[in-house]
Structure 1
């Protein structure tokens, strides 16, 4: 399998693991799953020159925001998988290990803390939310789960290729 196909499948698999975690988290802890339509709304306003909102839920709806948001979510997962395979290279692809996957997964917390949350009205690192520390913890946990997903997806792909 070539690097591009491996990276695509790893990113999709890791993002799927994170989404499944969101469903489990919602059932176990009553925490709603992420609403990627709001990400789509945020992104949909950017071509119009609007990059920051007081509260994205109060911004005007954007045509196709759900599709935009979910597409961006999975494309971001693929981009982070590309970061992982780009840094650790063919050695990691041949022999996936959890350390690099967790480093990338947890390291990507910078994107929501410094870009998405401020742009969508939640402030830097969710500082404008009702419970910032809880929001930060859940963001960190979600990104750690994504890192675990990078590892699990890569191992699964490797096992499939060996069969």
Structure 2
């Protein structure tokens, strides 16, 4: 079980005592084997993303429960014949799973205070945005805003 799952909270203590619990730390070496592929020009290591974002999650929540793990998203195994196995998190998975989770479970209530990672670097200006602004229409993403988000958070230069 993941302790950040909302369904775990109301679980009775007597029920929880009947299960074996084992803490499994985030495996950054595993995460370093996974690439997030936004488009032909923008890609980055999943380990770089979770390393930087998890620090900010901890600052915002003062807890480890909401942090992203090495296998928060199941990457697709892209196996080109010459290059061997390549684990990829697609743009769709990144926006629809990772950023959706970060918005709904960590930063939605921080939006008005400005204490949020949902900012986009556009020139010299940092603009706060909400999750829905990452979409131009269904299935079409605002890549300028997404790139600005990655730049603001130090994921890409």
TM-score bin, normalised by smaller chain:
0.3 to 0.5
TM-score w.r.t. the length of structure 2 is 0.34
More strand by share: 2
TM-score w.r.t. the length of structure 1 is 0.33
* Higher RCO (C-alpha under 8 Å, 6+ residues apart): 1
More helix by share: 1
